[in-house]
Amino acid sequence: MIRLLLFFLWWLSPAQNDANFWHILAEVGFETKKDPQGYTVEVPRFSQHLKSYQGKKVRLKGYVIPAGEVGDVEKFMFSALPFNVCYFCGAAGPETVVEVETDEKIKFSPDAIWMEGILRLNDRDPDHHIYLLQQAKVVKK
């Protein structure tokens, strides 16, 4: 709970600006539905504002989730929070993580990096995260 509170304090801080896109990704809610097989699933409902960024280039400062934990080096998860407090550890929501597709080999580091790529919103494919950052690359702020 404290980790989540720290994330929101960081998220609301005046130092945040539109260059770091995490606060826009937080504009999502979830609706419980039945999938075609009858299982109960949570389906994301993106705000109109967030939908306006579909297919556009965005920039995020965050942390690489180690590739060995989630896949190969060209596809990995990128988190607003360090690995020890990220979504997969139960300390934050799915809006704090994006699935990254890149041609670059990105090594794990405990330090935050900036990434830029094309945002894709996913509310249909359960094999992928709700946010994808395609054609991503590491950038300097």
pLDDT in tens, 87-120: 656 667 788 899 999 998 887 788 999 999 999 9
Domain of 103 in residue numbering reads as: 2-139
Q: Tell me, what's the pLDDT at 25?
A: 95
| pTM over the 0.75 mark | yes
Please name the residues in contact with 20: beta carbons below 8 A apart, sequence gap of 6 or more: 59, 60, 61
We report the CATH number of the domain holding residue 9 as 2.40.50.140
Query: What domain count does the chain have?
Result: 1
Please give the C-alpha separations between residue 77 and each of 20, 69, 134, in angstroms, as whole numbers: 17, 9, 12
Dihedral of the alpha carbons of 140, 79, 93, 6, in degrees to the nearest 10: -70
Q: Give the CA radius of gyration of the chain.
A: 15
Q: How many alpha carbons fall within 13 Å on the CB side of residue 76?
A: 24
